[in-house]
Structure 1
C-alpha cells in the first residue's frame, strides 16, 4: 500500500504512531545532542554557558529561516499529495531547495558582518563576548547546511518517509555527539570545537537528505527543471512558513529581552542559568515538536482530501499525547530540579539561581502540549493568519511585555514569573480558536 493510500485509509491511531514515532525519536536524539553539547560546554565554566545563551538569538533566527521554507513547503506538499498533484509537489520541492540556499547564504553574510555589535546588544559583557563570538562565527559559516538539513528533513516526513527522516536525524545527531569531545577536549578547541562538531553533523545530514530526494526511495524526486523559482510557489511556501518563522523570530526577540533583564537583575550567572533552563525545557518539548511533525502530513493530507472526521481524530489523539509529554516534563523539572541542572554545571551560584528559576518558569508546562499541537493544526491546514497569530501570542503579545514590566516590580523573580503567565494566557486563547474551528471544519477555506 502506498503512503498516499495509508494517509487516506489507515486507522488514525496506527497512522499517528507510525508517522510520529520516528519524528519523536529523531527530535529526542536532536535534543540529546543539544544536551550533550551544552554539557561539554558547561564543563568549560559558567561563563562559557553564558556565551551560548548570548548566541541563541541568532541561532534561533537561523532555525526560523530553515522552518520558514521547510515547514512551509512540507505543508503545501502534503496538501498537493492529498489532491493527487505529484508534479506540483515536486515543483514545490525544487523551489524549496533553491530558496533555502539563497536565504541561508544571505543570513550567513549578514550575521558575520554584524555579529559583534549584535552580541553586545544581546547582553554580552567583556567577560563573555569571547565565548559567544568564537561559537557563533563557526555556526554562521555553516548556516547553509543547517538550512538544507533541517528544512528538508521536515519535507521528508511530509512526503511520506518518516523513518528515513528519523534515520537521517539520528546519523547527524550521533555524529555531533561523537565529535564534540574530540574537537572540544582532544583538539583543545574549546567552545569553537563544539561549533565545528555541530556544523560537520549538519553537513552529514544535508548530504543524506539530498541523496534521499535525488537517488533514494523517495515519493518525490529532485529535478533540475524544478529549481527555477516560481513566484506563486514562493508565496505559497512563505505564507505557511511565516507562522513557525515568526515564532522563532519571536523566540529570538524574547531571548534578547530576557538576556538584558537577566543581566540587569542577576548578572552573567543569571543568563547562564536561563541557558540551562532552556536546554532542559527543550528536551521535554522536543517530543511534542516531533509529534507535530508526524501529525502534519496526516492532517494536511486528509484536510486536502476533505476527510474531516479523520482530521478531528488525528488532532484529538495528538493533543492527548502532547499533554502527556508536557506533563511528564513538568513533574521532572519540579521534582528532579537540581540533578537535572548538575548535568550541565556544578557551580553553586548557578545551581541556586537556576533551581529557583526553573521551578517557577516551567510551572505551566502541562498546558504547553495542548497549545503547541493546536497552533500547529492551523499551520497544517494552510490557515496562515491564525497560525501566525497563535504562534506569536505567547512569545510576543504576552511574554515580551511581561519581561519588561515584571522585573521592574519583582527584580530577577519577575523574569521567572513571566513564563507561566504567558503560557497559560496563550493556551486559553488557543483553546477558544480551536473550539470555533472544529465547529466549522466542514466548511474549509484553503
Structure 2
C-alpha cells in the first residue's frame, strides 16, 4: 500500500478524511443510481405506464443479481482493508485474486439459473399478462450481461477498499454517463423501447467491467490482480463470504420484500400501483444512496483502524457517520413530504391515476425516513469490524423480520394504504432494537479505547 494511503488512514483528521472519501463515493453512487432512475424516466415518458410497471416488477430480480455482487465485493473489500491495516499486502492480493474467480463463477450460475427459472420468477414477483412482454424483454438482456455487472460492481468496491476513492468514483461516472447517453438513443431514436433501455445498461456495465480490470492490472493499483492468486483457497473464500453474507442476505431479503410489495400492490391497487412503487423506490434509492456513500467513505477507515487497534479513530468515524446519516435522512424526508407531486411528474406526466396514487404513496412511505440513516450506518459498522452476525441481524430486522409480517397483515384491513404504511412502521420498530445494539457497542469501544489508546 502506498505511504500516502497509510498515513491518511492512520493519522489524517477523521472529519477531513471522511469528507475526502465521501465526495467521490457520493458522486459514484448517485450517478450509479441513475441507471434505474433514468431507465424509468425514459420508459415512463416514452413507452408508457404499463411498461414502467413491467420494469418495476423485475426490480427484485435485479436486486438478487446485485446481492451476489455484494456478497463478493463487500466481503472481499472489508478483508482487503483489514489486511492492509495489518500491512499484510500479500494476503490482500490473494483475497483480490480469489474474489475475481468467485465473481466469474457466481455470475455464470446466476445467468444459467436465471434463464431456467425466469418465467416462474416473473410470475412470483407480480408480472401479469399486460406487463409480461415488457418485463421479459428487459430481463432477457439484463441476464445476458450478468457477468459484467457482477465483476464490474464487485471490483469497483475493491478499488474503494484499497483507498482509491476517486478512481472508484470515476469508474461509475464513465459507466453511468454512457448509460445516460445511450438511453435516449436506443429508446427514442432507434425506437427500441424497453429493450433499448436494457441494452444501454448492459453496454455501460461492459465498459465498467473492463475499466476496473485494467485498473488492477496497472501500476495505479495499490494491490494488483495476478494470475498466481487465481487458485481458489477454501480459507480465503470463507474469509470473504462470512463478511459478505450480511449485505448479501440484506439484498436477498430486499428482493423477497419487493416481490411481496408487488403482489400486494397488484392485489390492492393494480398495475398502476406497481408503477407508482417503482417511482417511490427510485426516489428512496437516491436518499438512501447518499447514506450508502457515507458508509463507503467510513468502511476503509473503520476496517483499517480496527485492524490496527486504533479504537479512538474507529469510534470517531462511527459517530460522525451517524450524525451525517441522520441529517441526510431528515433532509430527504422533508423533500419527499413537501414536493411529492413534482417528483412523481418527473416520471410520467400523462397518467392522472399514477400521479394520485404515487403522491399519497410517497408521502406515507417516507414517514420514518429520519430513523433509517443511523440504522444503515450501524449495520455497516458491524460489517466493517467483522461482526457479520450482528450486521446481518440489523439488516434483516428492518428488511424482513419486522416488515414482511406487517406487509402481509396490514393491507387486509387498510387496503393500499396498508401497503404504504408497512415500511415506516417496520422502520420505527427496528430503530429501537438497533439503538440497543449501538449503545452496547459504544460501551465496548470506550472500554477498548481505555486499554489500547
For residues 148 and 57 of structure 1, the distance between their equivalents in structure 2, rounded to whole angstroms, comes to: 20
Q: Match of 2:58, SS?
A: helix
2:154 aligned with 1:151 = yes
Q: Match of 1:127, SS?
A: helix
Question: Which position in structure 2 is the counterpart of 1:67?
Answer: 70
Superposed, 1:205-244 pairs within 5 Å as: 205-244=208-247
Question: Which position in structure 2 is the counterpart of 1:194?
Answer: 197
2:289 aligned with 1:299 = no
Does the 8 A contact of 1:33 with 1:174 survive in 2?
Answer: no
2:237 aligned with 1:247 = no
Question: Which position in structure 2 is the counterpart of 1:10?
Answer: 12
Q: Normalising by structure 1, what TM-score?
A: 0.98
Does the 8 A contact of 2:35 with 2:201 survive in 1?
Answer: no
Q: For 1:397-434, what per-residue CA distance to the aligned partner results, in whole angstroms no more than 9, with x for missing partners?
A: 00110110001111111101101011111222111101
TM-align CA RMSD: 1.0
Does the 8 A contact of 2:26 with 2:293 survive in 1?
Answer: yes
Question: Which position in structure 2 is the counterpart of 1:134?
Answer: 137
2:40 aligned with 1:38 = yes
2:382 aligned with 1:382 = no
For residues 245 and 168 of structure 2, the distance between their equivalents in structure 1, rounded to whole angstroms, comes to: 23
Question: Which position in structure 1 is the counterpart of 2:359?
Answer: 355
Q: Match of 1:183, SS?
A: helix
For residues 22 and 426 of structure 1, the distance between their equivalents in structure 2, rounded to whole angstroms, comes to: 30
2:430 aligned with 1:426 = yes
How far apart are 1:30 and its partner, in Å?
Answer: 1.3
Q: Give the counterpart of 2:414 among 385, 404, 410.
A: 410
For residues 291 and 138 of structure 1, the distance between their equivalents in structure 2, rounded to whole angstroms, comes to: 32
Does the 8 A contact of 1:243 with 1:391 survive in 2?
Answer: yes
For residues 34 and 126 of structure 2, the distance between their equivalents in structure 1, rounded to whole angstroms, comes to: 27
Q: Normalising by structure 2, what TM-score?
A: 0.97
For residues 181 and 331 of structure 2, the distance between their equivalents in structure 1, rounded to whole angstroms, comes to: 28
How far apart are 1:33 and its partner, in Å?
Answer: 3.7
Question: Which position in structure 2 is the counterpart of 1:22?
Answer: 24
2:53 aligned with 1:56 = no
How far apart are 1:113 and its partner, in Å?
Answer: 1.4
How far apart are 1:216 and its partner, in Å?
Answer: 4.0
How far apart are 1:34 and its partner, in Å?
Answer: 2.7
2:392 aligned with 1:372 = no
Q: Match of 1:160, SS?
A: coil
For residues 440 and 373 of structure 1, the distance between their equivalents in structure 2, rounded to whole angstroms, comes to: 17
2:405 aligned with 1:401 = yes
With 433-442 and 313-322 compared, the bigger mean Cα shift is at: 433-442
Report how many residues are paired: 444
2:283 aligned with 1:290 = no
Question: Which position in structure 2 is the counterpart of 1:315?
Answer: 318
For residues 307 and 132 of structure 1, the distance between their equivalents in structure 2, rounded to whole angstroms, comes to: 50
Q: Match of 1:220, SS?
A: coil
Does the 8 A contact of 1:25 with 1:287 survive in 2?
Answer: no
Does the 8 A contact of 2:280 with 2:358 survive in 1?
Answer: yes
Q: Give the counterpart of 1:85 among 80, 83, 88.
A: 88
